[in-house]
């Protein structure tokens, strides 16, 4: 990790840059694949699966038999762990349900809002070097609670054309309606346009690499909504000498091992603490099976020594991390004043891993600074709010003149006439 001491505020934009390619570098590839899938459907999907995943498939849809066989191979111990995590995630997301909002704004004018589920949702579950079956819990559980009717899951196959047993077990446990063996840009394109096998959906959820992130953004040009821009994972830890260097190092490495394009940041107030954490990183790194990936991510990572808590807070809000761990003597200062973060973890015994798996909060979060404006996935992500209104004769007499005056001032005579005709009948 590169150490930066009390950086000047004008330099923050540069020192806080993410290690990501620009959209321009990726967009041409995405557009090419989207065009091919839109025209050629499953044929194009198969071509790119062979090209990128190295396997040829007779069918890209997972069968019930495949799911049953895979589920039987998952250990009972892991099944119980997944079930406990599912229960916690259900508890937290069920608590997010809201009642109908009803207001009579003036006598005879009744307005209300109700949440209705998005009928067709598509979920992208990364596979590759780390099959993220935990993300299925994070996406399918709230989709089921919301009442989504069609839940399509796309995930890349391995070179043998198989999906990880844990992914298939978790998908059937949670109630996915269709599982498709397809990854990357082609998966997003398939759910955007629909193919002979892949249903077209109304909204796409799920994290992925930079190519998947750009593909999701491109899908919005074709009338498909997305959860948020969610690319390579990132973590910022703000800590002081009250924190355990070994814990901080383990948290930084837990995100670094996601991928070479992940980024981890340490913000603290002493050089000694930075040194202690870096020593722990070197020690723990040697024990990691994904050491090479973590080492590459650490090349993009930085440790900031900032003496002032106020300046540290300002830097954190400028960076707007996906995950924020707070482990200081004055946690409340940061907790009460943080404005931009996807999910916050407080204290020495709250690792980011807890939110990734089993505490109950959702781990699908905005990255790349988008936590300035986006929320992480929650129950509302799978619903839309529909407003209703009913106006009685008395209500029309109450607000009719107001509508007429405003419509006339905007030069919209037909709008005015729609009210005038009714008012004339009420005289």
Active site residues: 322-323
Measured CA to CA, the distance from residue 100 to residue 114 in angstroms comes to 5
255 is in an annotated binding site: yes
32 is in an annotated binding site: no
Question: 351-355 long-range contacts, Cβ below 8 Å, gap at least 24?
Answer: 351/247, 351/250, 351/251, 351/254, 351/325, 352/235, 352/251, 352/254, 352/255, 352/323, 352/325, 353/251, 353/254, 355/323
Report the candidate in 300, 256, 272, 276 with the shortest Cα–Cα distance to residue 17: 300
| 116 bridge partner residues | 384
209 is in an annotated binding site: yes
CB-facing half-sphere around the CA of 396: CA atoms within 13 A? 15
88 is in an annotated binding site: no
68 is in an annotated binding site: no
Question: 241-246 long-range contacts, Cβ below 8 Å, gap at least 24?
Answer: 241/270, 241/272, 241/273, 242/327, 242/328, 242/329, 242/348, 243/273, 243/327, 243/328, 243/348, 244/327, 244/348, 245/273, 245/276, 245/277, 245/279, 245/280, 246/280, 246/284
307 is in an annotated binding site: no
Residues 362 and 274 sit within 8 Å (Cβ to Cβ): no
258 is in an annotated binding site: yes
Measured CA to CA, the distance from residue 392 to residue 397 in angstroms comes to 9
By three-state DSSP, how is residue 55 classified? Answer: coil
76 is in an annotated binding site: no
Measured CA to CA, the distance from residue 302 to residue 265 in angstroms comes to 5
- Binding-site members for substrate are 233, 255, 258, 323, 356, 410, 415
List binding-site positions. Answer: 124, 186, 209, 233, 255, 258, 323, 356, 410, 415
Binding residues for Zn(2+): 255, 258, 356, 415
Residue ranges of the binding site for NAD(+): 124, 186, 209
């Amino acid at each position: 990790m590169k150490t930066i001491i009390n950086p000047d505020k004008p330099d923050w934009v540069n020192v806080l840059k993410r290690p990501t390619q620009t959209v321009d570098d990726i967009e041409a590839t995405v557009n090419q694949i989207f065009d091919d899938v839109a025209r050629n459907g499953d044929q194009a999907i198969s071509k790119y699966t062979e090209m990128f995943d190295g396997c040829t498939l007779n069918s890209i849809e997972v069968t019930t038999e495949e799911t049953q066989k895979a589920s039987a191979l998952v250990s009972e111990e892991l099944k119980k762990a997944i079930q406990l995590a599912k229960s916690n995630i259900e508890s937290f997301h069920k608590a997010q349900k809201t009642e109908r909002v009803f207001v009579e704004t003036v006598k005879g004018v009744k307005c209300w809002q109700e949440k209705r589920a998005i009928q067709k949702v598509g979920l992208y579950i990364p596979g590759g070097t780390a099959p993220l079956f935990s993300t299925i819990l994070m996406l399918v559980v709230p989709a089921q609670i919301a009442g989504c009717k069609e839940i399509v899951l796309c995930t890349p196959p391995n070179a043998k054309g198989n999906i990880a047993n844990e992914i298939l077990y978790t998908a059937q446990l949670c109630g996915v309606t269709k599982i498709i063996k397809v990854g990357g840009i082609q998966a997003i394109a398939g759910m955007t346009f629909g193919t002979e096998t892949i249903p077209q959906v109304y909204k796409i959820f799920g994290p992925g690499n930079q190519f998947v992130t750009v593909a999701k953004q491109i899908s919005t040009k074709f009338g498909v909504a997305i959860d948020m821009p969610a690319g390579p994972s990132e973590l910022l830890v703000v800590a002081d000498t009250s924190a355990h260097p070994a814990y901080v190092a383990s948290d930084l490495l837990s995100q670094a091992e996601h991928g070479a394009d992940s980024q981890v940041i340490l913000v603290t107030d002493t050089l000694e603490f930075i040194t202690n954490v870096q020593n722990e990183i070197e020690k723990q790194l040697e024990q990691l099976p994904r050491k090479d990936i973590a080492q590459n991510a650490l090349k993009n990572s930085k440790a900031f020594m900032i003496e002032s808590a106020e300046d540290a807070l300002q830097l954190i809000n400028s960076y707007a991390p996906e995950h924020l761990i707070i482990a200081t003597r004055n946690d409340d200062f940061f907790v009460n004043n943080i404005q931009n973060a996807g999910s916050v973890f407080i204290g020495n015994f709250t690792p980011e891993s807890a939110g990734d798996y089993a505490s109950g909060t959702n781990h699908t979060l905005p990255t790349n600074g988008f936590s300035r404006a986006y929320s992480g996935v929650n129950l509302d992500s799978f619903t839309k709010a529909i407003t209703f209104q009913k106006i009685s004769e008395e209500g029309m007499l109450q607000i009719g003149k107001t509508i007429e005056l405003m419509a006339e001032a905007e030069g919209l005579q037909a709008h005015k006439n729609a009210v005038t005709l009714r008012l004339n009948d009420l005289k």
